[in-house]
Amino acid sequence: NAGVTQTPKFRVLKTGQSMTLLCAQDMNHEYMYWYRQDPGMGLRLIHYSVGEGTTAKGEVPDGYNVSRLKKQNFLLGLESAAPSQTSVYFCASRPSGSNNEQFFGPGTRLTVL
């Protein structure tokens, strides 16, 4: 049981490049989340999904897109990366009815030059 995994662990992009971050969970959780973590700001919610085929915006969605084609996977896309998107990205998941108790992946450190 791997829990929540994220691919890749590190990535360096140039401004304007695109990329996709993959989050996978093997716990059959309904809900999945993408956060970004910046120094002095804690974690902020980018997008989330309440089930396969559904997505919704969080607190800081601009510049990101997401897809949840399969229940176990939640993809975060950057169409045209900007230096302001340099951050550590965390994925989380939780089962329904868990009072928002979330399980986190190890994170992806992204640098945009």
Q: Binding residues for other proteins, per CB under 8 A?
A: 4, 31, 33, 40-45, 48, 50, 56, 90, 99-107
- Residues whose CB is less than 8 angstroms from the CB of residue 23 and which lie 6 or more positions away in sequence, other chains included: 4, 5, 6, 32, 34, 73, 74, 75, 76, 91, 93, 105
* Smallest distance, other proteins to C-beta of residue 99, A: 5
* Smallest distance, other proteins to C-beta of residue 32, A: 10
Q: Is 44 or 70 the residue whose CB approaches other proteins more closely?
A: 44
* Smallest distance, other proteins to C-beta of residue 41, A: 6
Bridging pattern class, strands 10-13 and 108-112: parallel
